[in-house]
Each structure stands twice: as C-alpha cells, then as structure tokens.
Amino acid sequence: MATTGSDGQLDVAELREDFPILEREFGGEQLVYLDNAATAQTPDRVIDAIAEYYRETNANVHRGLHQLSQEASLAYEEAHDRLAEFIGADGREELIFTAGTTESENLVAYAWGLNELGPGDTVVLTEMEHHASLVTWQQIAERAGASVEYIRVTEDGYLDMDHAKELIGPETAMVSVVHVSNTLGTINPVEELAELAHDNGAHIFVDGAQAVPNRPVDVEEIGADFYAFSGHKMVGPTGIGGLYGREALLEEMSPFKYGGEMISRVSFEDATWNELPWKFEAGTPPIAQAIGLAEAAEYLDEIGLAAIERHERELAQYALTELKRFDDIRVLGPPAGDPRGGLVAFDIEGVHAHDVSEILNGLAVAVRAGHHCTQPLHDKFGSTATARPDRPGGAGRHL
C-alpha cells in the first residue's frame, strides 16, 4: 500500500481512489468533502470488511457453539484487541465498544458519576467542551448534588492553564476535557491536565473524537483514566466507538446497561456481572461495526498517523494563511503558525454561516455550518454560527 511519495508526503491522488463516494458529482462538479469533523468518509476496504461479515459470518457472538458463531465471536474479540492496540491500552479488558463518544461520556457519567459524586464534589470541564461532555456532566452533577466549573478559554483559543490550576483542587472529582477542540482546533495539554487531576486525587476523562483519527494517541502516556473516540470520524462505520478505561476503575464500576451478555449468573433474587469488557456491553453488540472499525484502524496505521497529522497540519496552515487575507473573515482558535488540529471554523462579517454553507454546496463543496455542538463557546466569542471546513483527519479527504 504505497501512500507517500518520494518526498514523504501523502499520495493524495492514490488515497482518494480508496473512497468511492468522492467520485460523486453534483451539478457537474466533483464532490469536495470537507465535513470530516462531523463524519469522515469510508474506504472500500472497510465497506468490504463489513459486507464480508454479513455474507460469510453473520451470527451472534458468545451465544452459540456452531461454526458461524465461533467465527463471529473470534472476529469481535480480535476487534477489541486491535482497537486497544491502536490507542495504547493494555488489552481488550480496557476497551469497551459503545455507540460512540457520546455514549462513552454517558457510560462513565452514569456508571461512575452517579455512584461517586456528591455534595461538595466538583467536576471541572472547559469552555470548549462538546455538548456530549458539557450537558452530560452538567446533568449528572445536578442529580448528584455536585457542582461544575469551567476552565476559561483565552481569546486566541487556548486553555487558561493558570485558571485550570485554580479550579482543580482537593474538591475536584473528575476533569473532563476535549483532546482536540471540534470548533477551535486547539490541541489541549491533556498530559499536563491529567497530572494536575491526579495530583489532586481526581480522575480525568479525555474526549478524543477529533484526535484519534488524525494523530498517534497513547492513553497510557497521556495518563488518561478514561478516553473516548468515535468510529465514524476515523473512516469507520457509524454506530460504534470506543471507551478506554483503566482496568482497576472499570472493575470497580457498576454496569451502565443491563441484559444479556453482561451477566455471569442470574437468579430470581440477584445477578453477577461478566468479566471485562463484556460487563459493559449488554445485548447483541455492534459486531459488523466492530469488524469494520478494526479494519479502519488497520488502514490508518498502514498510512501512518504521523504522516496524516503532518498533512492535516500543512493544509490547516494553508487555509489559515489564505483566510487571513480577508479583513471581514474571523477564524476562531489558534492563529496560523501555532500548532492546531486541521479543522478551521470561521465567520464572515454580515454573512450567516448557513448562507456560506449553502453557497459552497452549490459548488459541490460540503462544509458544516452551525454551532458544532459548542453553543456556549460560540456565545463566548459572540458568534451565532461558524462555517467549518475540515481536511484529512483520516485519509481520502482532499481539496
């Protein structure tokens, strides 16, 4: 699989051929897809892996002794192993398949938060959190009688780390932070925040939805207690994501959902729980999606996440430099020249972001417009909505 040219850069033309949807045309114009921060496109080999499961191996897992069930069970278990390896977890016990980052946030908030939080406890978030984090911890803290505080974001899109050190203290029980902001493109110092949390006896949850697809991630090096990501943002299928949790923490936590698969023994009086990770995977799991996600991880690794990160950074810097030429365009987040993720959210004076998106749509260019599930952050910057093009955070996303 040749993915780089002689100069070490990604072979964009070759990678583009892996993505069948990029051949579509609208109004005689070939599709330019720049909405990858919302959902990335899927390469043929991931589609084929899912189709092959349905054609050759379709059966439920961990429930039958027949050949199809054994094959499906093995493939599903190996998918856990592959994704655990992909993010640097110790093994499958620390990798739970969920519906995506949002469900992962809810799993930890309900299974850990409702049992561990109480009056006097504080959950520390940031002002740039996605609603999946902000709303979830806001609601769980209210139920538990705990409070929520927010680390300030500076005008140039960075976390105010002096403020973080003021907020994270002995009363902090959980710090929940986005690794890469889906609006600002800011790459947050998650290792420093993890150390700060642990020094104060708190845990840290990292939302990696915008990081796992486009840069090497090692959850142990970060020091994360929990780390979440979504399959559909990393050229995988929809309806699946992963939650990393430190094994000792997951062992202590009660299940989030109940039913088949997650039990060990059931009587009319009580039940005991299955071993990890199955303890948190009630019911028939997303088998085909897990197989597809494992193939997506293999695809990204073969390309090279370091090369993907470099390519995305170069395109982001180009976009920032070009947008800076216009006085009536404001870009949110770190300026050109600073390290940042590949997405670029901007607004134009006197023009609503929805109109920008609609005009671009007429040119067969797909970009997201809105508040990107960060409404409080947009309010802070005095913006109703922004347009947000995003380049190759996986592969096959090309101008």
pLDDT digits (tens, 9 = 90+) for 271-281: 999 999 999 99
How confident is the model at residue 159, as a pLDDT? 98
Query: Quick count: other Cβ atoms within 10 Å of Cβ 5?
Result: 12
Residues 215 and 84 placed together within one structural domain of the fold: yes
Same domain, 263 and 337: no
Last residue of a domain, one of 300, 323, 338: 300
Whole-number Å distance between alpha carbons of 365 and 227 = 32
Q: Both 110 and 253 in a single domain?
A: yes
Per-residue pLDDT band at 9 (split at 50, 70, 90):
confident
Shared domain for 78 and 226, answered yes or no, is: yes
Domain boundary among 252, 284, 300: 300
Residue of 32, 47, 282, 373 marked catalytic: 373
Together in a domain, 318 and 367? yes
Answer whether residue 243 shows pLDDT above 60.
yes
Tell me, yes or no, if 302 is annotated catalytic.
no
The pLDDT of residue 332 is above 90: yes
For residue 126, what are the CA distances in angstroms to 35, 146, 168, 354? Answer: 24, 16, 11, 26
Owner of token pair 């050229």: 235
- In angstroms, the first-to-last Cα distance of the chain is 22
Model pLDDT, residue 392? 44
Average pLDDT over residues 6-14: 79
**pLDDT, the chain, mean:** 95
Is the pLDDT reported for residue 32 higher than 50? yes
pLDDT at 28 over 70: yes
Span 97-110, average pLDDT: 98
**Residue 34 banded pLDDT, cuts 50, 70, 90:** very high
Per-residue pLDDT for 4 more than 90?
no
The arithmetic mean of pLDDT across residues 334-360, rounded, is: 95
pLDDT at 8: 65
CB atoms within 10 A of CB 333: 24
Residue 3 binned pLDDT confidence (cut-offs 50, 70, 90): low
The encoded tokens of residue 99 equal 């519906």
Is 280 contained in some domain?
yes
Residues 308 and 215 in one domain: no
Q: How many domains does the chain have?
A: 2
The radius of gyration computed from the CA coordinates of the chain, to the nearest angstrom, equals 21
Distance CA 311, CA 359 (A): 27
- Global confidence as pTM: 0.95
The pLDDT value given to residue 397: 35
Q: Note whether 338 and 272 are same-domain residues.
A: no
Residue type, 269: E
Q: Can you tell me the mean pLDDT for 120-130?
A: 98
CATH of the domain at 140: 3.40.640.10
Per-residue confidence (pLDDT) for residue 395, from 0 to 100: 37
Q: Looking at the structure, tell me whether residues 193 and 332 fall in a common domain.
A: no
**What's the domain range around 373?**
12-45+304-388
Q: What mean pLDDT is predicted for residues 177-186?
A: 98
Selected residue with higher pLDDT from 382 and 8: 382
CA-to-CA distance for 305 and 22, rounded, in angstroms? Answer: 21
State whether 18 and 167 are in the same domain: no
Assess whether pLDDT exceeds 90 at residue 7.
Answer: no
Q: Is the dihedral of CA 370, 373, 375, 380 positive or negative?
A: negative
If asked whether residues 294 and 318 sit together in one domain, one would say: no
Average pLDDT over residues 140-161: 98
- Asked whether residue 2 is domain-assigned, the answer is no
